[in-house]
Amino acid sequence: MAGAFVGPVVVEVVAGRIHRIRAADGTEDVDHDLVDGTLSAGLLDLQVNGSFGVDVAGADAEGWNTLLSGLAARGVTGIEPTVITAPLPDIAASLDRVGRARRAFADEPVARILGAHLEGPFLSPARKGAHRVACMLPPSAENVDALLAAPGVRDALRTVTLAPELPGAVEATRRLSGEGYVVAVGHSDATAVQVYAAADAGATMCTHVFNAQRPLKAREPGVAGAVLADDRFFVGTILDAQHVDPSVVALVLRSAGRRTVGVTDAIVTAGLEPDQWHEFGGQPVANDARGLGRRPDGTIAGAGIVLDEGVRRMIAAGLDPAAVLAACTENAARSLGRTDVGHVAEGALADLVWWDATWHPSRVWVGGKALTVPTR
């Protein structure tokens, strides 16, 4: 059942996939008898700029291994590595590296690369967030051509965030969605009418609702109001309890329901202690005491947590655990058109997490292979 807990059940895994799910009667001979906890699909984080000191934009093989294995051990079994605003040649090189990493680690028991998320450069300077305005570009046909023509980009790319009010954005949305890419509205000062026009052109996602976008007001719904009201949009929502208050996340869940997609917007400092400085987007960044990535001037640069921590923070704030987990698994998978991940269902990949009573991952499997989970 979508977004609800059921059981007890027996889950049979064959050759890395869920072969059969059946009701348990207590007489089964099982390899793992999981009691006092909850089994879910592995978490999917569709906005990961980095973690554990690794920035996806420039990661080498060792860095990718650190990132993907570290996330998997925390229950995050699939990600969209996210590349932010930079000069187009740098973006293309980063996307090419994402594609190479996806191929290199495809058969390893680590977090799966689900495709790259390009967040920039087609963003609004008025809603820049931590992005560099000097590197922003309009989504003109020429700029989109240059991006897609670069080596490795088409192979790696899955999602493009853009501001729909920019010149050429509707045409770019129609083109990108027509070629099979997910187009997300984000870092945008668009009116609701402009957001609806983007949906008409094929946009299906919102990047981090309520952050770096025109807010919801009584007489102008803005980006946030438009995507919550329009069933054509999945609604990406940061779950660190810092970017968006948990009470507002509860409103998103109540409004968008199964369209809610929980993400972190994790940056290079995610999973690290406070005040460890790294570079992100060409500028310094470190976590504050609450696990929020900030620039030296205090500007929020992204989240300093991993998604399992986001799950715990939301549940601790009183949100329904089943709805929170669904936002981070099956809803995320549906937003990408995937049925092989994010679901505990027959035929799906056996990417699974066993949560203990405090909502920490106690066991994790990727493709049916058990991983070593960090001790607390």
Mean pLDDT of 256-271: 98
Q: What is the mean pLDDT of the chain?
A: 95
The pLDDT of residue 228: 99
The string of pLDDT tens digits covering residues 180-197 is 999 999 999 999 999 999
Chain-centroid distance, C-alpha 210 = 16
Q: How far apart are CA 46 and CA 79, in angstroms?
A: 5
Tokens of 193: 């009418």
The string of pLDDT tens digits covering residues 205-221 is 999 999 999 999 999 99
CA distances from 305 to 126, 220, 289, 313 (A): 27, 33, 11, 10
The string of pLDDT tens digits covering residues 281-325 is 888 999 999 999 999 999 888 999 999 999 999 999 999 999 999
Cβ–Cβ under 8 Å, residues 161 and 182: no
User: Domain 41-342 has what CATH class?
Assistant: alpha beta
Residue with structure tokens 């348990």?
Answer: 24
DSSP characters for 299-314?
-EEEE-S-HHHHHHHH
Q: pLDDT category, 51, cuts 50, 70, 90?
A: very high
Residue with structure tokens 């060792």?
Answer: 62
The pLDDT of residue 115: 99
Q: pLDDT category, 4, cuts 50, 70, 90?
A: low
> Which tops the pLDDT comparison, 3 or 191?
191
The pLDDT of residue 129: 86
Mean pLDDT of 354-359: 97
Judged against a pLDDT cut of 70, whether residue 174 lies above it is answered with: yes
Torsion of CA 46, 302, 190, 231, to 10 degrees: 30
Nearest Cα neighbor of 357 from 312, 314, 327, 326 is 312
The pLDDT of residue 80: 99
Does the active-site annotation cover 107? no
Q: pLDDT category, 98, cuts 50, 70, 90?
A: very high
Tokens of 66: 């650190």
3-state SS string for 318-344: CCCHHHHHHHCCHHHHHHCCCCCCCCC
Looking from the CA of 331 toward its CB, the CA atoms found within 13 Å total: 26
Judged against a pLDDT cut of 70, whether residue 1 lies above it is answered with: no
The pLDDT of residue 29: 73
Judged against a pLDDT cut of 70, whether residue 2 lies above it is answered with: no
Mean pLDDT of 240-246: 97
Q: How far apart are CA 125 and CA 110, in angstroms?
A: 36
DSSP characters for 19-88?
EEEEE--S----S----SSEEEEPEEEEEESEETTEEGGG--HHHHHHHHHHHHHTTEEEEEEEEES--H
Identified catalytic residue from 45, 230, 240, 265: 265
